Amino acid sequence: MTVNIALGLQWGDEGKGKIIDYLTRSAHVVVRAAGGANAGHTIKVQGKKYVLHLIPSGIVHPETRCLMGGGMVVDPMGLLDEVSELEAAGISRVWERLGIAPCAHMILPWHRAVERARESRPDAIGTTLRGIGPCYESKASRFGLPLALLAHEDELILRLTRLREDLLPLMEPASEIPSVEEVLALLAPCAAKIVPRFTNVTQEIVDAEKAQNTILLEGAQGSLLDLTHGTYPYVTSSSTITGGILSGCGVGPSLVSDTFGVVKAYTTRVGNGPFPTEIDGPVGEELARAGHEFGATTGRPRRCGWLDIVALRHTIHLTGTTALALTKVDVLEVVDTVKVCTAYRLPDGTVTDVYPADPYILQDVTPIYESFPSWRSSQGLEDENLHRYVDFVAEQTQTPIRVLSFGPDRSQTIDR
């Protein structure tokens, strides 16, 4: 039996979709744990690109069972659209291979209206405007609507009415807020598709493990966006570390064999928040162009910076990562010198290689760098400079780099 976890160790956009797709070669079941359509996992196979927002990345493999865990928040209309897009792109039997936890919560138009109102303020966090945060708030306040209600119309109407009343003061303008009847009409065709796919995700994982199948638990976003341990308040609204993944899938830690942490060879961030190794000027812009650093969900440009070993060691500790997958090493070919942050200079002048416990200090630290000569594709993966860099990252984090990714296509990946 093998139950593995794959999750991001930075601020998201590490290339998790590609690595999860690669690891799914030997997986029978892939389970998405948490988050919603704020995730954008991109997979490229033989030149064809698939962008996933809700459905687990294993769906591109034709025989893989894909489960959506109870920790997720799901836009029912968005799920139907995503399935239709995958089917149109030639992915077979999507609904047949999909299982959905009925305890996952619904994102409704009202949640998006609340988020739009908040993000119009000067102190905006920089969210994806998909209603993720307000939906998790509704869940925590016990006003939320689990997907299970799609099978119970009378209770659904009652809970829709209650939720609208709860959110109404937070939405504006009132004239554009959908009525309960309008939302109910949107949900009707969704119920017909989603309810037959309800499953006990915990039991499926347990049964698959007993049958000696391989299961992959899929994280979304990145560990530095964790609601508790990330750069609060510039975080997502769910737990993105290992504990959150286990909770969102509904299983305990005793089943897990390996935890793969996905790391970009440099660092990016979307939206607002502290970013110690951010590169201002032409070098950062060149990395963004070479890496096609635009959000798969929003299309927003990503901020680019050097690899931060201090933050990476911290997220390895948070997640219990046992192996790393290093992605986009090819992008760093566009620069002559590659830098790596190995310590921070704190505002009082002291130097530390320990990530600060106070998230507000991070915006005032100064990174201390080591520099490496870059590598060139003409030398291929045998380039000594590349391996010197990869070995340095493994040594500094005391974590083996098991997978190396050097391009967007599935074929551009090797076991190391």
Would you state the pLDDT for residue 122?
83
Residues 379, 233 share a domain: no
Residues 267, 255 share a domain: no
Give the side-chain half-sphere CA count within 13 A for 268. Answer: 29
Would you state the pLDDT for residue 379?
65
Which of 209, 243, 259 is the endpoint of a domain?
A: 259
Residues 360, 276 share a domain: yes
Q: Is 13 annotated in the active site?
A: yes
Q: List pLDDT tens digits, range 108-152.
A: 999 999 998 888 888 778 788 889 999 999 999 999 999 999 999
Would you state the pLDDT for residue 342?
98
Report the mean per-residue pLDDT for the chain: 92
Would you state the pLDDT for residue 295?
66
Residues 408, 299 share a domain: yes
Q: What angle do CA 168, 75, 81 make, to 5 degrees?
A: 135
Task: Kindly state the tokens that stand for 291.
Answer: 């890496």
Which range of residues forms the domain containing residue 379?
263-415
Place of tokens 């416990």: 357
pLDDT band at 175 (very low <50, low <70, confident <90, very high): low
- Asked which of 110-114, 152-156, 230-234, 295-299 is least confident by mean pLDDT, the reply is 295-299
Closest CA to 332 of 273, 404, 274: 404
Residues 157, 23 share a domain: no
Residues 399, 279 share a domain: yes
CATH of the domain at 175: 1.10.300.10
CATH of the domain at 82: 3.40.440.10
Give the side-chain half-sphere CA count within 13 A for 55. Answer: 32
Active-site pick, 13, 21, 226, 308? 13
Residues 90, 121 share a domain: no
Would you state the pLDDT for residue 40?
73
Residues 92, 31 share a domain: yes
Closest CA to 56 of 107, 115, 101: 101
- For the chain, the farthest-separated pair of C-alpha atoms sits apart, in whole angstroms, at 66
Would you state the pLDDT for residue 50?
82
Q: How many domains does the chain have?
A: 3
Would you state the pLDDT for residue 1?
55
Closest CA to 148 of 178, 187, 116: 187
Active-site pick, 28, 41, 53, 314? 41
Mean pLDDT of 372-376: 93
Would you state the pLDDT for residue 298?
64
The Cα–Cα gap between 64 and 192 comes to 23
pLDDT band at 256 (very low <50, low <70, confident <90, very high): very high
Residues 145, 95 share a domain: no
CB 77 within 8 A of CB 41: no
Would you state the pLDDT for residue 369?
98
Residues 149, 97 share a domain: no
Residues 208, 186 share a domain: no
Q: List pLDDT tens digits, range 270-288.
A: 888 999 999 999 999 999 9
Please give the model's pTM, rounded to 2 decimal places.
Answer: 0.92
Residues 205, 92 share a domain: yes
What percent of the chain lies above the pLDDT cut of 90? Answer: 77
Which of 179, 194, 209 is the endpoint of a domain?
A: 194
Mean pLDDT of 318-336: 96
